[in-house]
Structure 1
Amino acid sequence: MKQCPKKLIAFPHNADLDHLGAARCLLLKEPDACILHPVRFRQNAWETARKLDWFKTVKLDSIDFTALNTVYLVGITHLRQNQELVEAVAKASLRVIVLADRPAALPFAAENDICDSMSLTACMVNRLRENQLHFSGEDMQMFRLAVTEKTWAGLSGRVKPEDHKAIAFLDRQTMPAGKIANTVVLGMHDGQTSLYRNMLKNIEDIQPGYWPVTLIAVRAGNLVQDIEPVVDAIWSDISPPVLLLILTFGSFTRVWCRSSISQIDFREIFADFRPSRVRNWVYFHFSGAGHEQNRGRVLQHLEKNLHPDLTAGDIMSASPQCIESNASVRSAFDTMLKFNIMSLIVMQNGEFAGIVTRRDLDRALQMNLLDSEIGPYVPTSVPIVSPGTPVRVLKNLMVRYNLTRLPVLQNNSVVGIITTHELLRALPDYLPLPHDFLPLAEQASLPAPAELEKLLKLVFSLRIFHLLLRIGRFAEQRGVNAFAVGGFVRDLLLERQNFDIDIVVIGDAMPFVVELSHEFACEYKVFDRFHTARIYLEDLKIDFSSARIEHYSDPGALPQIEFSGLSNDLYRRDFTINALALALNPEHFLELKDFFGGYNDLVNRRIRILHSFSFLEDPTRLFRAIRFAGRFNFALEQDTQRAFELAISREAPEKLSLKRIGSEISRCLNEDRPQQIVADLFSAGLMKYLSPEMVDADILPGRFKLIKSLIRRFKPLGEEIDGEAIFWTGILSVIRSGNAEQILDDLGTSHSRRRLILQALSAMKAVPAVVNKTDESDTVCLYHLLHELSLETMLSLMAFSLDKRNARKILYFIMNLRAVKCSITGQDLIDSGIKPGPHMRQIFKHIIEQKLKGSRYAREEELELALQLYQNL
């Protein structure tokens, strides 16, 4: 007998508890609907459903489709999920509503009811609550089981806010703690139950790479079908952070693994086994010799490929500042101020004796103990950690002993120090940030090494990639850490080429560079004062430096340098976007190190200093801030802008020599948009430190902004044009004092550029009036007026001194007359019997003038004319 429901609720094959919960919600909403009898149910879903009074179903072949008008498809988005039903619906004219987390791809039109949640039940519960619908205790319990199983109690990486909302509501329903695990176990057949109990008897804890891994390795006598409910039950029952299940049947081994720790990716770890993902599990199988051998093979692979948990050695600041225990409190104070640090390692007879902090010294100051030795006042009961101590242990020690820093010792030598800053940076965020606190606490996620590898190969070339790889491997062999830093890293992230590669070595870079030059068979140069060196590889120059800390004896002075760790080395830099580093050692190759939020500033297109005294400490950073803002079209961050204005108001650039100011302005002139950057320097009030007259950009020649395009126009000539000399000519041309020579000397301008600028400044005074009186057709006069001038001088005349009519005369000379020369040389005249002397110049001048007037001579004709002129002298 056919049944005639008007509304039908249907599941996919192998439906789970979540489908069942969603169907119940639909039934509460549509009480007159019927449920289609499922062909297959997951074990826990079936064990739950068969005990529910409302779970009354109709079979597909008993339905009269002519009476049916609406079908709800719960989780069915493809034909194969319930082929018989989909084919039957396709033949009828029905309203079809698909409740799923993605659009349906079915052979008929359907209304997609998309759930913005991982769990369909969670979505439906939230909707019914909004409609003020009340649930029974039985429904609440079933919904909670469904959402918990689907989202793994909210721990799944795919969980969404709607899921958390439903979980928070359903948690009001009290349930025994083991209910979920027991529900999962319910309904297992004898083989599954036996395997489940066997697994619980073989639990062991291992710690590969200091990670807490629960290992269950069992040998089963009989092959058990459908193991997934068993491993699900184990996970639910013991709730470990990481679970590794090794099941051996004869020589055949199945491995199920799962982790709630985001840093552990089993698909990557066991990639050689070609694993697949089964819901939340990573699964693979293989054949081997036997249980013990297969177990050993899996664990060996795990040890080899599982990246260790972060340790003290990964996050510590290397080369911490030390002081002897017999030093005075005053000396310790001075050292802390000198290096802008809050603690010092205290040594006694070459061994670690304790840590003294600024707080300790403040107390000594209050007690008038400045001239006392610090040794007696140094706490000695500080916990000591090694480079291999996991970060989780460091956190425990700091909390337990109320510490803000820990020394790191290796073989009784101090190798580093860890502060709460390093520790907080290292601790991962296990949960997403609450939406109510975004964007306050939101940070851009750092790109992974794999992303940076692709970017490096895209922006640069395989050559640069393999070069950095070789340097990292060499550093590993020498037992040091190497990092690419600064502008190279910044421009890589901005997808801009920058072949100025700077590498920081933790320790002394000098011997490292010497050995590296032998390895690469290349030349090198050492700069002892700054502990830097450079190697020369064909067309590349790579600079190396020791990780160092700088201190300034006076504002504006050049820094004094001492060895330090990476974070201190980066902290001394001008802006956060330049304080990024890429690890080069193989284990962490291309890991981005960002201690100060530089990547986030790149993403948000802003310039930010690392501390509020940065511009006062080194006023050249004022010029660099303008330059980088102009180059990248960035803006100064709010506090940076305030610090910038404060430094200007305190006349900080007055402490700079004219040479350093000129050097910074020269760098601005070599940018792609120098005219805009120079205008910004004027607006910021920085150009007046070059000359008091430089207070307004309007003082510059009107065509100053056209210099770049003018230089590009003459590139086809194939001559190297010193654009910087032309810019400096324009700047110095407006100084009324006429003291250009002295300014160029003070700027430290090179002799060749100085000559070009002074020639141009002189020509700008003398040439315009003569050019104005000279007609373009008077080629001889035009030639004699201009032929001794450099190309830079003529471009300066066109840009700064001449109107369009007279500039066209210069252009005519450059394009048509400048290349006019004699084909013969002085040696040719001597070989022809003409004696050397001033008359030679008269001969060449006459020949050139004839050619300027239109005469054309072959080389032999020029020589014959020269002999005639000589005879007529």
Structure 2
Amino acid sequence: MSSPVRTIRPETTIEQAQRILFRYGHSGLSVVSETDQLVGIISRRDLDLALHHGFSDAPVKAYMTRNLKTITPDTPLSNIEALMVTYDLGRLPVVENGQLVGIVTRTDVLRELYQEREKKRTRLRQLDMSLTNQNSENPLLSCLLPSIQDKLDSTLWHFLEQAATAAQERGWHLYLVGGAVRDLLLSRSTNTILLQDIDLVVDGFHQSADVGAGVELANRLREIYPQAKLSIHGEFQTAALLWHKDPNLGSLWVDIATARTEFYPYPAANPEVEASSIRQDLYRRDFTINALAVRLTSPSEGELLDYFGGVLDLRSHQIKVLHSNSFIEDPTRIYRAVRFAVRLGFKIEARTEEYIRFAVSSGIYERLRETNHPAPALTTRLKAELKYILAAPYWKSAIQLLDHLEALKCLHSDLVLTDQLEWQLRYLSRWLKILDPTEYLEHWLMRLEVLIASLKPTERVKIANYLQLPKDSIDRLQQLETVEQEIQQLSINLKKSEVVLLLRRYKLPTLIIIACRSHPENRRLIWSHITKWSKTQAPIDGNVLKKMGYKPSPQFKEILDRLLCATLDEEIKDRMAAEEFVRSHYPIK
């Protein structure tokens, strides 16, 4: 059964009920009295009929079905099948002690029948393998826990066992979900897999687990692992346990949350979340390959939950979105789709690509950006996705795929990966690799700046502010046009000293970005300045000037600058010539 059940009162209007169906994607709603007794069911068809006749303000009690067939938590599957076929029912309420505790739909029945059939086939295949002593690939194991245990470090496996025990003591189920399950299923290596980011979901709403279940479980685990840092965040009370360079667990991040469902009130909004079941929790995720879960608690520990064909998509090496409006609701999912496709070597499924292109061409992102509508959390997520992509070794392929999907327009409608811009990005990476091998500078951020710099000067700062870039980046983009105009005066006819005096006013990131956008002559001069001329020093310094009888004064800077220029232009080459230069140009009175 599915639990909890979304319910309404008999006095709820048809219009209100229709909005609830739309929000949660249900095909019907259970109607309960003030004492929470089940009194009826209203289907989507019932609501559509009432709305068609203009009764949007009428109460649902006028249209709901009252002659109900119900079942109990112990009703056998065969009886459920018989009731649905005999009475042509799409859903059956589950009632215990007069209270509605769940609902079983046709989809639930079909899924259970399919899973039972697959388990039988798996057992037969395993029996056949043992009889014929043959090896064959079978990723859909009846129990994944032995496979997971073999692939994980023993310390991490022990942590998962402790988490499962703590959840089971409270009557909850615990699931390993998302990327960790995906990566474990994809792994064909016999070596231990290093997981640094794990998502755990607590499901037990019908067993009195509330929205704080994830936090309660995290607090219990914190008692067992006092060296971990506990972080509680978000209005939904999710929790995270963090280890940094731990001798046993390394650098590990474990998110723990109660199973939840979410609803986007408008495009690119922060989702509104409510406690729900593990099925609804998986349904809210982005792609089928990330909507997988493994049960860690008994009974059925090790069971793989795959409601949306994620395993088949893993086999087919494709990225498939769960919902047709997914990219309208959250544009960062476009960038996630590209990131997973390139990193895993997968293809974006054809229909998913159509959804991406429709979302981009709809112009929704441009309109939201122009009206400053997106929530800060959205821009934070978008910047995080850009960082993941631009900091990864596969950034070049990812940018090319984003351009192919026209998804760079999510940032700005004029942003296109032209041949010139692609060349600039390659040149930037080449310079950074040589000039900043330790990555003291943020290479991903500089790539993003080069992308933004391809826009009109008036648009650059808008996008930088929209993405909440650091102040240095915003200032650099704001001053870029002025700096480029100043540096245009560079020429091969200038003296070295004139080039140095001009370029030393700018920081290294500015010079690198300018060089990538400059013509070859200026680029050569900037390179010479960074690698050689800026490191040149005059033969004497301020201490020598004091010994020569000069008293410290504002004139010191002028003398030292002239000495440096003369050194650069090879007018002086040693200390003796430098001292003579100073005495002749700045005689002591």
> Shift in Å at residue 338 of structure 1?
1.9
- 2:222 aligned with 1:502, yes or no? no
Q: Residue 69 of structure 2 is aligned with which of 382, 385, 399?
A: 382
Q: Residue 791 of structure 1 is aligned with which of 495, 498, 508?
A: 508
Q: Quick one: structure 1 residues 712 and 476, their matched pair in 2 at CA, closer, same or farther if it must change by over 3 Å?
A: farther
- 2:208 aligned with 1:520, yes or no? no
Query: 1-side partners of 2:433 and 2:29: how far apart?
Result: 56
- 2:135 aligned with 1:429, yes or no? no
Do the aligned residues in 1 keep the contact of 2:360 with 2:410 (CA within 8 Å)? no
1:94-109 aligned at under 5 Å gives the runs none
| Structure 2 gaps, min length 5 | 123-136, 188-192, 204-209, 245-250, 576-581
What is the aligned residue count?
530
Q: Quick one: structure 1 residues 402 and 738, their matched pair in 2 at CA, closer, same or farther if it must change by over 3 Å?
A: closer
- 2:79 aligned with 1:358, yes or no? no
Query: 2-side partners of 1:476 and 1:456: how far apart?
Result: 24
Aligned to 1:553: 265
> Shift in Å at residue 453 of structure 1?
1.1
> Shift in Å at residue 655 of structure 1?
4.3
Aligned to 1:693: 414
Question: Taking structure 2 as the reference length, what is the TM-score of the superposition?
Answer: 0.74
Aligned to 2:148: 453
Which amino acid is 2:353 matched to? Q
Do the aligned residues in 2 keep the contact of 1:318 with 1:416 (CA within 8 Å)? yes
Do the aligned residues in 1 keep the contact of 2:490 with 2:499 (CA within 8 Å)? no
Aligned to 1:745: 465
SS at structure 1 position matched to 2:253 = strand
1:600-611 aligned at under 5 Å gives the runs 600-611=312-323
Do the aligned residues in 2 keep the contact of 1:324 with 1:348 (CA within 8 Å)? yes
SS at structure 1 position matched to 2:366 = helix
Query: 2-side partners of 1:816 and 1:395: how far apart?
Result: 82
- 2:351 aligned with 1:639, yes or no? yes
- 2:136 aligned with 1:419, yes or no? no
Q: Residue 735 of structure 1 is aligned with which of 434, 440, 455?
A: 455
Query: 2-side partners of 1:567 and 1:801: how far apart?
Result: 55
SS at structure 1 position matched to 2:261 = strand
Question: Taking structure 1 as the reference length, what is the TM-score of the superposition?
Answer: 0.52
Do the aligned residues in 2 keep the contact of 1:723 with 1:792 (CA within 8 Å)? no
> Shift in Å at residue 597 of structure 1?
0.7
Q: Quick one: structure 1 residues 614 and 734, their matched pair in 2 at CA, closer, same or farther if it must change by over 3 Å?
A: closer
Deviation string, structure 1 residues 590-623 (Cα, Å, up to 9, x no partner): 5332110112112211121223333344444344
Aligned to 1:472: 164
CA RMSD in angstroms comes to: 4.4
Aligned to 2:175: 483
Query: 2-side partners of 1:844 and 1:378: how far apart?
Result: 94
Query: 2-side partners of 1:701 and 1:554: how far apart?
Result: 35
Aligned to 2:390: 669
Aligned to 1:571: 283
SS at structure 1 position matched to 2:117 = coil
Do the aligned residues in 1 keep the contact of 2:175 with 2:295 (CA within 8 Å)? yes
SS at structure 2 position matched to 1:418 = strand
1:246-285 aligned at under 5 Å gives the runs none
Which amino acid is 2:169 matched to? Q
Query: 1-side partners of 2:434 and 2:281: how far apart?
Result: 44
Query: 1-side partners of 2:146 and 2:556: how far apart?
Result: 69
Q: Quick one: structure 1 residues 546 and 786, their matched pair in 2 at CA, closer, same or farther if it must change by over 3 Å?
A: farther
Identity of aligned residues (%): 28
Q: Quick one: structure 1 residues 450 and 583, their matched pair in 2 at CA, closer, same or farther if it must change by over 3 Å?
A: closer
Q: Residue 680 of structure 1 is aligned with which of 401, 404, 419?
A: 401
Which amino acid is 1:801 matched to? S
Do the aligned residues in 1 keep the contact of 2:13 with 2:56 (CA within 8 Å)? yes
| Structure 1 gaps, min length 5 | 1-315, 434-442, 858-865
> Shift in Å at residue 799 of structure 1?
2.9
Query: 1-side partners of 2:7 and 2:559: how far apart?
Result: 79
SS at structure 2 position matched to 1:657 = helix
Do the aligned residues in 2 keep the contact of 1:721 with 1:791 (CA within 8 Å)? no
- 2:39 aligned with 1:339, yes or no? no
Deviation string, structure 1 residues 554-574 (Cα, Å, up to 9, x no partner): 334332222221121221222
Q: Residue 517 of structure 2 is aligned with which of 800, 812, 826?
A: 800
- 2:410 aligned with 1:705, yes or no? no
Which amino acid is 1:751 matched to? K
Do the aligned residues in 2 keep the contact of 1:679 with 1:697 (CA within 8 Å)? no
> Shift in Å at residue 587 of structure 1?
4.8
SS at structure 2 position matched to 1:479 = coil
Deviation string, structure 1 residues 148-196 (Cα, Å, up to 9, x no partner): xxxxxxxxxxxxxxxxxxxxxxxxxxxxxxxxxxxxxxxxxxxxxxxxx
Do the aligned residues in 1 keep the contact of 2:425 with 2:447 (CA within 8 Å)? yes
Q: Quick one: structure 1 residues 870 and 490, their matched pair in 2 at CA, closer, same or farther if it must change by over 3 Å?
A: farther
Deviation string, structure 1 residues 201-260 (Cα, Å, up to 9, x no partner): xxxxxxxxxxxxxxxxxxxxxxxxxxxxxxxxxxxxxxxxxxxxxxxxxxxxxxxxxxxx
1:198-217 aligned at under 5 Å gives the runs none
Aligned to 2:126: none
> Shift in Å at residue 523 of structure 1?
3.5
> Shift in Å at residue 353 of structure 1?
0.6
Query: 2-side partners of 1:782 and 1:771: how far apart?
Result: 9
SS at structure 1 position matched to 2:401 = helix
SS at structure 2 position matched to 1:700 = helix
Do the aligned residues in 2 keep the contact of 1:547 with 1:563 (CA within 8 Å)? yes
Q: Quick one: structure 1 residues 614 and 729, their matched pair in 2 at CA, closer, same or farther if it must change by over 3 Å?
A: closer
SS at structure 1 position matched to 2:490 = helix
Query: 1-side partners of 2:180 and 2:3: how far apart?
Result: 23
Which amino acid is 2:144 matched to? P
Larger radius of gyration: 1
Deviation string, structure 1 residues 810-859 (Cα, Å, up to 9, x no partner): 4455455666789x9999x99xxx999756756876897799789899xx
Q: Quick one: structure 1 residues 855 and 489, their matched pair in 2 at CA, closer, same or farther if it must change by over 3 Å?
A: farther
Q: Quick one: structure 1 residues 650 and 691, their matched pair in 2 at CA, closer, same or farther if it must change by over 3 Å?
A: closer
1:140-155 aligned at under 5 Å gives the runs none
Query: 2-side partners of 1:582 and 1:505: how far apart?
Result: 12
Bigger relative CO (Cα 8 Å, ≥ 6 apart): 2
> Shift in Å at residue 351 of structure 1?
2.7
Q: Residue 594 of structure 1 is aligned with which of 306, 313, 319?
A: 306
Query: 1-side partners of 2:35 and 2:500: how far apart?
Result: 78
Do the aligned residues in 1 keep the contact of 2:15 with 2:57 (CA within 8 Å)? yes
> Shift in Å at residue 335 of structure 1?
0.9
Q: Quick one: structure 1 residues 719 and 734, their matched pair in 2 at CA, closer, same or farther if it must change by over 3 Å?
A: closer
